[in-house]
Amino acid sequence: MLAVQQYQQAVWKQAVFQQQLGFLCQQMNTATVPVLKQALRHPSPMYRYAGALAIGNRRFAMQEELIGLLQDDDVYVQQMARQSLVKMTKGQDFGPLPGCACSDEEEAMQQWRDWWRANPLAVKSLTAISK
């Protein structure tokens, strides 16, 4: 009986987490650029994840901020930053893969930066932000 209760509690916690994350992602999809920048620096990975998702969805010219998240301690944040970069580049993918070594993360970050430098028209296709 205890195992069933523990399972039910775990399922409930997961549902609450998903509901909170969904709400936060909705909020970030209408957030201002300063709010998104704050979210990317928030101590909670949920905020960083939602911010990275919103930047990719809205195609904001914040590629350098996303590239910085490729070294995030949270693999979900890291991979959402990667997915947003892939979306913004219409399919380019330089990684990093989940669970890779730090050197691979740094290499991926450099490849992303090189791609953006080599493709100025792609930068112009993004939604401009005021600094």
The model's pLDDT over 34-50, given as tens digits with 9 standing for 90+, comes to 999 999 999 999 999 99
Is the preceding omega at residue 96 within 30 degrees of 0, hence cis? Answer: yes
Provide the pLDDT confidence category of residue 1 given band limits of 50, 70 and 90.
low
> How far is the CA of 92 from the CAs of 67, 88, 108, 122, in angstroms?
13, 9, 12, 11
pLDDT, average across residues 115-131 = 85
CA dist., res. 72 & res. 61, Å (int)? 20
**Residues in CB range of 58: below 8 A, 6 or more apart:** 29, 127
pLDDT, average across residues 89-117 = 93
> How far is the CA of 48 from the CAs of 11, 69, 103, in angstroms?
24, 8, 22
CA dist., res. 128 & res. 59, Å (int)? 9
